[in-house]
Structure 1
Amino acid sequence: MTARRAAVVAAALALTLTACTSQVGGQATPSSQAPGSTAPGTSGATADPGNPFSGVSSCSILDQALAGQGFPKAEPLVANPKEGCRASKPTSGNTPGVDVGLSLNPGRGYKENVGNPSQASEGNVNGRPAVMEREPENSPGQCDVWMEVKPNSRAFVLLASGSDTAMACDLVKGIAEKVEPLLPKN
């Protein structure tokens, strides 16, 4: 993974430019978690009711989602270590390297600040409302998924790999499907 691509991933996770204005319907699902227990990927810290990610580690969630796929342990983002982590797998033979980031953003809706709205499509990940964006910042080989986390927060998975956008979107969709069950329940 080039330093430029890693910088683009970190910048895309830390900064966003424009908003997506269309609406996605969704219904909250009550948590099946017992009071006082912690969800997967949490540290057990006392939860802040305004922040669904209070006590949740983005690095722990990313490590669990990437388990068995040859990625090293996730590292906090330099630009925003409290909210985001990334892991990179280097190029191997004809297989391009893969850089994956996860950012947990309290107080930001999942449709806010999509960088390339003309390439975004609404849908869901395992039933959770989401937006998939092809080529954020008009960069081939990149794709991201923004998932809703109630109340008014999001989990953002970004993937960069070579220049094949379709492959990047397939990969990020699979990772988002593994991240989703580890997120706080809506």
Structure 2
Amino acid sequence: MYKDKIVRVYENYLPKALGIESYFSVLISLIEVEGSTHLLFEQRSNHLTRQPGEISFPGGKVEPGETPEYAALREAQEELNLEPNFVKIIGPSDYLVTPFNDLIYSFVGFLEVDLEEIKPNDEVESIFTVPLEYFLIHEPIKYEAYIIHEINDDFPYELIPKGKDYEWRIGKYPIYFYIYENHVIWGITARFTYEFVKKLKL
């Protein structure tokens, strides 16, 4: 009875991660500084409502109709006030599904401009760079946070095996820290940095 509809829905279906509320995209930004390759980071403006003052890569929300790659490119151009031809995306890196129902894509790209010429917009308090060599030599500090279930009092325990004695799984969420001069690069930005650098060591 439902065979035709099932075929129509699923024969060309593109799988997606369930439970995702928001999609974001960042650009792992590389730039040449005095003959060596650096990673460029932003310190977000203290006036922003989301993560004010924190260190991040250029990036932001994937808008309706955009591909994640286009969003990374657009956000880098907007935040760093760069013309399109100054941002060259090499390709995708890993993506992250956070415990907060966000999916964050990352892309690797070169900023083909002198550092002194970059004048960020008002979403960015400041920018700074770190030599890639620093990350190749220095391992991050790693801390593991634990994600546990917090169940409301009206949860229908009678519908699950063992009821209130059900053994909920506990998740682990790694949090990385890099300390460079007076900058602390941590959280999702540090994790993307770590995974990016790890591949260069293989």
What is the TM-score normalised by the length of structure 1?
A: 0.30
Q: Which has the larger radius of gyration?
A: 2
Q: Looking at secondary structure, tell me which structure has more strand per residue.
A: 2
RCO comparison, higher one (Cα < 8 Å, 6+):
1
